[in-house]
């Protein structure tokens, strides 16, 4: 039936991922060590995660609020109005 070649490709895809994805050692900790010293000093926030996504990387958060705003107005555009 038609599904066989699709399943074959999926199995090869899984084998490739199982073979090549390795997570044995943690990432080098340049960012965390930098944050430990002068995170609170620079941003004043004790919660380092908040200091990252609202301080150092605030632009990503801006981009993401755009995505939220566009998605809400998209839902409103498609479902909101009664034609």
Partner 1 sequence: MPEGGIVLFIVVPLAGSFFTLLEKIWPDRRITKPSVLLVFLSCLLILLIYAKPIFQGEEYRIILGNWGGPIGIAQAMDGFAWVGLFLVYAVTFLALIYAFSDKTYDSSFYFFSLILTSGMAGVILAADLFNLFVCLEIVGISAYILIAYAKKERSILASFKYLLLSSLGISIFLLGIFGIYRNTGSLLFSGVAGYFASPTGSARETALILAALIAGLGVRTAFIPFHTWLPEAHSQAPHPVSALLSGVVIKVTFIAVWRLSVISGSLEVRNFLLCSGTITALVGVFWALMQKEIKVLLAWHSVSQMGYIIAGFGAGTLLSVSGSLFHILNHALFKSLLFLSLGLVIILTNEDSLKKIGGLGRKYPLLALFFTFGALSIAGFPPFNGFVSKKLIMVGLKEHPAAYWTLWITSVGTLASFTKLSALFWKKLKKQPLSQSTPLRKGDLQKNSEEEVFQISSMKKAGLNKTAAFFPLVVLSILCLITGLFGRPIFEMLHFLIFRQSPSGIFNPWTMENLWETFLVTSLGVFSYFLVTSRGGEVFQSRIRSLRLSLDWTLVFLLAGFISLGLTVFLSKLP
Partner 2 sequence: MKKTSILDVISRKLSPFILLFGFYLVTYGHLSPGGGFQGGVVIASGIVLLLLCQGTERVQKLFPLTAVSFTEALGFFAFLAMGFLGIFLGSGYLSNFLPIGTPGEVPSAGFILVLNIVIGLKVGAGITLICFYLFKEED
Partner 3 sequence: MLRIYLILILFLLGVFGIILCRNLIKKVIALNIINSALIILFIYLGSLSGDEAPILLDQTGIIVDPVPQALMLTAIVVGICVTALALSLVYKLYKAYGTLDIQEIEKKARENA
User: Least distance in Å: CB of 70 to partner 3?
Assistant: 7
Pick from 79, 81, 82, 83 the residue near partner 3 by CB under 8 A: 79
Half-sphere exposure of 35 (CA within 13 A, CB side): 16
Q: List all residues 6 or more positions away from 54 whose beta carbon is below 8 Å from its beta carbon.
A: 43, 45, 61
Distance between alpha carbon 16 and the CA centroid of its chain, in Å? 23
16 makes contact with partner 3 (CB under 8 A): no
Closer Cβ to partner 2, 7 or 68, answer by number: 68
1 makes contact with partner 3 (CB under 8 A): no
């Amino acid at each position: 039936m038609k599904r066989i070649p699709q399943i074959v490709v999926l199995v090869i895809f899984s084998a490739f991922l199982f073979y090549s994805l390795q997570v044995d050692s943690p990432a080098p900790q340049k960012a965390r060590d930098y944050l430990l010293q002068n995170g609170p000093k620079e941003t004043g926030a004790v919660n380092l995660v908040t200091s990252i996504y609202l301080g150092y990387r605030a632009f990503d958060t801006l981009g993401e609020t755009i995505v939220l705003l566009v998605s809400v107005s998209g839902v409103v555009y498609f479902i909101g109005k009664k034609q």
